[in-house]
């Protein structure tokens, strides 16, 4: 059971690693941990979601909590329900962007504050391991609840002066589909071209992970064939998204952070914007150019959300395609992100490839995944080689020169190290990429690129 507790959530293969018995114990322990009287539970469309959600609810009620069951929903809508309903906590049964045979739990306390590996999950793990596997004698009450109308109303209020736009949306057979239809009904000047909108936990068309090039090929072709203004791809639980420009080209997720930051700073001059340290240098430069406060963060939603709570930042963005909003309770929300990009397009009245032009000023490798055996030797070798650089260890190792930089860090979700490198020019990028990889392989001959 120990392996299912990850840095940000609980995840495992169903039923070999995560099953109903374990789900019941997690539900009971979650209520004990939070000392919760009222919680809300949602689930995505995965084939095991209903059974696992039911077991979790049994466990939570056995511990004495009243449970509001919102049924199939998105993770952002579940966050909204926690905040709107003033619950003591909530859980989303989902494995997000992962294949259908995997499932899990995203857990929050009040105000949708997440449990994570450094706050809450270790204690929950201890309680699960110590607790009884069966249903106890608690007397919690069960009811169903529906927050969809209120949620769509909240999203619709964030649409500003919409212009006629043609948008292709690929929901990946995840939970974004029903919400997108409802939202577009509220904004008739937007022309929706839907793809794979019906929730289906067998994922009949492609895995619902917009970071994968293979998952956006159909969308890219459709954007071009329809002469659309924008393509949007969602992950399974609709808390992440990726974008395709009008030419059918993928847009790097960090540049979306820069684009939305510029839009927010036009409405909130001087505001704080959080960006993860893997982002292009163009992002903090754009924030500073628009008189914002660029706040650099470690990778991971718990760190970004904490900085936003501490500083009052209005927005935060991550290279993973998670985007966070103060006005949505400091939660990540993919539909809200789509709205902000469309707001920007309506305001600028130019193709998104043109709007992104000033941000596409550097050459990046993208994220390179590495299987390694000796990370300490690798870090030591890189620090020795680049001892004249500006370095920091906010998250792994960041090495900066005037014309290029890189970050190497251990993944929080997989047994990998991740390398991001950027340079002023493509030739220098390629040269330094091979140089850094060469140092890594020399320090650890077992190191191998995984993507």
What is the set of active-site residues? 96
Check if the beta carbon of residue 221 is closer than 8 Å to that of residue 248: yes
Which residues, at least 6 apart from 378, have a Cβ–Cβ distance to it below 8 Å?
A: 372, 408, 417, 439, 440, 443, 444, 447
Check the CA dihedral 161-164-168-171 and report its sign: positive
Question: Can you tell me the distance from the alpha carbon of 246 to that of 230, in angstroms, rounded to the nearest whole number?
Answer: 5
Token pair in block for residue 137: 């004698």
Q: Which of 26, 93, 10 is nearest to 59 (CA)?
A: 26
Question: Can you tell me the distance from the alpha carbon of 412 to that of 408, in angstroms, rounded to the nearest whole number?
Answer: 13
Check if the beta carbon of residue 125 is closer than 8 Å to that of residue 74: no
Check if the beta carbon of residue 60 is closer than 8 Å to that of residue 41: yes
Question: Can you tell me the distance from the alpha carbon of 81 to that of 91, in angstroms, rounded to the nearest whole number?
Answer: 11
Q: Which of 300, 321, 158 is nearest to 238 (CA)?
A: 321
Q: Is residue 390 helix, strand or coil? A: strand
């Amino acid at each position: 059971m120990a392996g299912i507790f990850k840095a940000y959530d609980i995840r495992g293969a169903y039923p070999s690693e995560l099953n109903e018995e374990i789900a019941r114990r997690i539900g009971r322990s979650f209520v004990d941990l939070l000392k919760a009287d009222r919680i809300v539970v949602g689930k995505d469309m995965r084939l095991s979601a209903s059974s696992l959600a039911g077991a979790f609810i049994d466990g939570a009620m056995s511990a004495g909590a009243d449970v509001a069951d919102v049924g199939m929903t998105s993770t952002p809508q579940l966050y909204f329900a926690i905040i709107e309903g003033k619950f003591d906590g909530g859980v989303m049964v989902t494995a997000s962007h992962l294949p259908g045979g995997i499932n899990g739990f995203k857990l929050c306390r009040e105000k949708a504050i997440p449990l994570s590996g450094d706050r809450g999950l270790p204690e929950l793990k201890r309680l699960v391991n110590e607790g009884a596997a069966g249903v106890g004698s608690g007397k919690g009450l069960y009811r169903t609840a529906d927050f969809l109308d209120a949620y769509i109303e909240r999203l619709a209020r964030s649409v500003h002066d919409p212009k006629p736009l043609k948008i292709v949306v690929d929901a990946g057979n995840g939970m974004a589909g029903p919400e997108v239809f409802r939202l577009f009904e509220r904004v008739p000047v937007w022309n929706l071209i839907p793809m794979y909108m019906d929730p289906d936990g067998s994922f009949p068309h492609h895995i619902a992970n917009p970071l994968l090039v293979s998952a956006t090929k159909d969308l890219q072709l459709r954007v071009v064939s329809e002469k659309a203004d924008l393509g949007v791809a969602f992950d399974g639980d609709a808390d992440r998204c990726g974008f395709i420009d009008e030419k059918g080209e993928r847009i790097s997720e960090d540049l979306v952070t820069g684009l939305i930051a510029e839009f927010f700073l036009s409405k909130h001059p001087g505001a704080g914007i959080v960006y993860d340290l893997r982002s292009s240098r163009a992002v903090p430069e754009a924030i500073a150019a628009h008189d914002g406060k660029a706040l650099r963060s470690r990778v991971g939603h718990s760190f970004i959300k904490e900085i936003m709570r501490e500083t009052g930042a209005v927005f935060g963005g991550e290279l993973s395609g998670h985007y966070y909003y103060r006005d949505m309770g400091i939660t990540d929300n993919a539909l809200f992100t789509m709205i902000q990009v469309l707001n920007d397009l309506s305001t600028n009245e130019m193709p998104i490839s043109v709007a992104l032009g000033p941000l596409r000023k550097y050459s990046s490798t993208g994220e390179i995944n590495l299987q390694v055996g000796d990370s300490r030797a690798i870090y030591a070798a890189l620090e020795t080689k680049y001892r004249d650089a500006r370095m920091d260890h906010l998250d792994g190792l960041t090495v900066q020169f005037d014309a290029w930089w890189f970050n190497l860090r251990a993944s929080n979700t997989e047994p990998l190290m991740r390398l991001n490198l950027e340079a002023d020019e493509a030739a220098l990028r390629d040269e330094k990429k091979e140089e850094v990889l060469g140092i890594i392989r020399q320090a650890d001959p077992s190191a191998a690129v995984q993507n």
